[in-house]
Structures are given as C-alpha cells and as structure tokens.
Amino acid sequence: MKFRKGEVILAPMASYTHSAFRRLCRALGADRTYTELISVAGILRKGIPIKYAYFTEEECPIHIQIFGSHPEEIAKASQVVAEQLKPDFIDINFGCSVPKVLRNKAAGYMLKCPPLMGEVVRETVEALRPYDIPVSAKIRLGFEEDHVEEIVEELQKGGVSLIAIHARTAKQGFSGKALWHRIKDAKKVASVPIIGSGDVKNWRDIEAMFEETDCDGVMIGRTALSNPWIFKEFKEKRDIKVGLKERMEFILKELSMMTEYMSGEKACAEIKSQIVQILKGLPKARELKSYIVRAQDCTDLIKRIEEVMERDRELLYT
Ligand SMILES: Cc1cc2nc3c(=O)[nH]c(=O)nc-3n(C[C@H](O)[C@H](O)[C@H](O)COP(=O)(O)O)c2cc1C
C-alpha cells in the first residue's frame, strides 16, 4: 500500500479540487490528492463523470472518492472506476451530510450505523481484489454522537487500508472546532494509517496536528483554497508571502488546464469561485474580486485578470 508517514494531503472539496487544482497543489508539495465525491448511482446509470474523475499522472497518488447508500452498489461502482481509471485508491465518503445525500441515506448518513460502514468496505475490498486497488474511507466522528473508535474498528474489520477523519460530527457541519484529541483517540485503536482533517489554518498547524494527534498524515481543505502555497510553506518550514501577480498566474494556469476536461466558457464560469478564494487576505480583495467576477465571457475574464496583475506593484501583501 502506497502511503508514507508524514504526508500532507489536499482534502477533497466539491467544486474546487478537480484535476487542474490538484495538479497545481501537487506541484507545490501536496503528497496525495482526492477527487471530490462522485455519486455511485450516477456512475451505474450514466457512467463516470469525466469532469470529476479526470486525472493525470501528476496528481497521483490519487483517491477517487465515491458515495452511495447500498454496499453492493458501492462495490459495483468501484469496479467500474477500477476498470476504467485504475486509481491508486478508491475512497468511500462517509462524511457528506447535505440534505439531499441524507435523504438517500448515503455517505454521512451511514455514520449512524458503523457495522453497515464495515459492510460497505468489506464488499468493496472484495470487489476490488482482482484489480489490486486498496480501499480508503473518509469519515467524521459520528453522525450526531461521537463514536469514532467503534467506526474505525468496524472499517478495519472490513479491510480498509487508510482512514481520513474530519474531526467533527456530521450534525455539526462546519460549526464549532475540530476535536483534534479525538483523532488521537482514534489513532490508539487504529492499525491502518490515520489522516487528520479539520481547521488547519497555516503550516504551523500542520506541525501541531502531527504532534498533538500522532496522526500519520494531515489533510488540508479550506486553507489550501486561499493559500495553496501552504504545502510548500510546510515543506520549507517558512512563511511565504505570495502577491497578487503570482496568485493570478496560478489562476491562469489552472484555467488553461481546466479546458482539457471542460469547455473554455464553462471553465471561465467555474474558476470564479477559486478566484474569490485566492484573493482572500489580500489588500483590496473585495474590490478586486467584484471587478474580476463581473467579466461577461472568457476573453473579458482573462483581460481583467491580466489588468489586475499589473496592479501588483501597488499592493503590498501582508
Ligand atoms: C467546499 C467544500 C467541499 C467539500 N467537499 C468534500 C467532498 O467532496 N468529500 C469529502 O470527503 N469532504 C469534503 N469536504 C470536507 C473537507 O475534505 C475537509 O474534511 C473539511 O473541510 C475540514 O477540513 P478544513 O478545515 O481543512 O477545511 C468539503 C469541504 C468544503 C469546504
């Protein structure tokens, strides 16, 4: 199984962590990437959605993340993914708690029943045996109640190879603080690598999470959207100030790569949410953001980005 203790990992984030963003984060030092969650029902009905599942060698090791409600469907969809894409891992999402997903008793809903989670993993591991692809799981501490040790034990009985823990319950959403000490408790019952997730805000927090939880890897979510350089900062153990020009160069590179798997117009529409993220913390961020995202089409967007890059000299990043 391909995992090295001490890895820093780009978290899966729906609408953001597609191939281009993953590639750029790998180049900045992320050791591993995940796709956003992909519906098992969709895969079985319509095939694998290319926009979410497209990846290149540069993003590997990669986990293709799937979610569903029934063990046999999840196992079947994992075979379709294995057959067509041969990823390093197939990851099962047991954390998402948006109302539509919960209504279908999928993903985060399963936190209510750890033995069912174990069953999902068992059937998927079995289905993937011919492909020699390990199964990982991304979990929360529980649905409403925190029973992370029991969850870890059931997943292990099912044959899971690696577990990422967002240290909140599903009910909490993103409120409150991630309970890092519960990652440490989970680690005590774990025989597989444990990746910690939740509230890493800068590179020093990565060090702190390793120290405080004894986890094997640290996953970075929201902070990587506004500061993808966090991976480099951690590797080089220093703060890196990144100005507007470099941030906009990142966006232009991402935009260009996105057109490998979506139309130029769609890429220009989708990149706007990433522009909002990457401007966070810069002086005059709000003004810059509203100027750029008002672009009418692709040509206009690129023109505005290039224009804004020129202003870099006037802005001092703090
Ligand atoms: C916009 C957004 C989308 C997310 N999408 C996913 C997803 O598709 N799959 C998943 O397992 N977690 C998803 N997450 C959760 C993150 O992977 C991560 O566990 C969580 O944000 C906590 O880490 P952070 O505090 O570093 O952001 C998402 C989070 C955000 C903010």
Q: What is the per-residue pLDDT for 91?
A: 98
Ligand 1 nearest-atom number relative to CA 35: 8
pLDDT tens digit sequence for 272-281? 999 999 999 8
Ligand 1 nearest-atom number relative to CA 199: 25
**Catalytic one of 25, 60, 96, 215:** 96
Distance CA 15, CA 274 (A): 9
pLDDT tens digit sequence for 34-79? 999 999 999 999 999 999 999 999 999 999 999 999 999 999 999 9
Distance of CA 50 from the midpoint of ligand 1 (Å): 20
Q: What percent of the chain has pLDDT over 70?
A: 97
Two tokens, residue 166: 């967002």
**Mean pLDDT within 117-137:** 98
Helices 264-278 and 244-258 pack at an angle, to 10 degrees, of: 150
Ligand 1, pocket residues at CB < 6 Å: 11-14, 36-37, 65, 93, 95-96, 138, 166, 197-200, 220-223
* φ, ψ at 158 (rounded to 5°): -75, -10
pLDDT tens digit sequence for 82-97? 999 999 999 999 999 9
Query: DSSP string of the chain?
Result: ----TTEEEEPP-TTT-SHHHHHHHHHTT--BEEPPPEEHHHHHHH---HHHH---GGG-SEEEEEE-S-HHHHHHHHHHHHHHH--SEEEEEE----HHHHHTT-GGGGGG-HHHHHHHHHHHHHHHGGGT--EEEEEES-SSS--HHHHHHHHHHHT-SEEEEESS-TTTTT-S---HHHHHHHHHH-SS-EEEES---SHHHHHHHHHHH--SEEEE-HHHHH-TTHHHHHHHTS-----HHHHHHHHHHHHHHHTTTS-HHHHHHHHHHHHHHHTTTSTTHHHHHHHHHT--SHHHHHHHHHHHHHGGGG----
Distance CA 260, CA 275 (A): 19
Two tokens, residue 66: 């799937």
**Mean pLDDT within 295-304:** 93
Q: What is the per-residue pLDDT for 46?
A: 97
Q: Please enumerate in sequence order all residues whose Cβ is within 8 A of that of 41, keeping only pairs 6 or more positions apart, or say none.
A: 68, 73, 104
Confidence of residue 33 (pLDDT cuts 50, 70, 90): very high
Q: Where do the domains of the chain lie?
A: 7-236, 244-312
Confidence of residue 311 (pLDDT cuts 50, 70, 90): confident
Active site residue 96: yes
Q: What is the per-residue pLDDT for 318?
A: 46
End-to-end alpha-carbon separation of the chain, Å?
42
Whole-structure pTM value: 0.96
Confidence of residue 135 (pLDDT cuts 50, 70, 90): very high
Q: What is the per-residue pLDDT for 312?
A: 65
b/e per residue 119-131 (b: at least 16 CB within 10 A): bbbbbbbebbeee
Substitution site in 13, 39, 168, 223 for ligand 1 pocket (most atoms within 8 Å of beta carbon):
13
Q: What is the per-residue pLDDT for 295?
A: 93
Substitution site in 222, 273, 274 for ligand 1 pocket (most atoms within 8 Å of beta carbon):
222
Q: What is the per-residue pLDDT for 283?
A: 87
Ligand 1 nearest-atom number relative to CA 16: 1
Q: What is the per-residue pLDDT for 142?
A: 98
Distance CA 111, CA 105 (A): 10
Q: Whose CA is nearest to atom 23 of ligand 1?
A: 198
Average pLDDT of the chain is 95
Q: What is the per-residue pLDDT for 316?
A: 52
Ligand 1 nearest-atom number relative to CA 93: 11
CATH superfamily of 7-236: Aldolase class I (3.20.20.70)
Ligand 1 nearest-atom number relative to CA 36: 8
Confidence of residue 313 (pLDDT cuts 50, 70, 90): low
Query: Based on the number of CB atoms within 10 Å of its own CB, is 177 exposed (0-12), middle (13-18) or buried (19 or more)?
Result: exposed
Distance of CA 221 from the midpoint of ligand 1 (Å): 6
Confidence of residue 17 (pLDDT cuts 50, 70, 90): very high
Substitution site in 93, 166, 169 for ligand 1 pocket (most atoms within 8 Å of beta carbon):
166
Q: Whose CA is nearest to atom 21 of ligand 1?
A: 221
Distance of CA 11 from the midpoint of ligand 1 (Å): 6
**Pairing, β 194-197 against β 217-220:** parallel
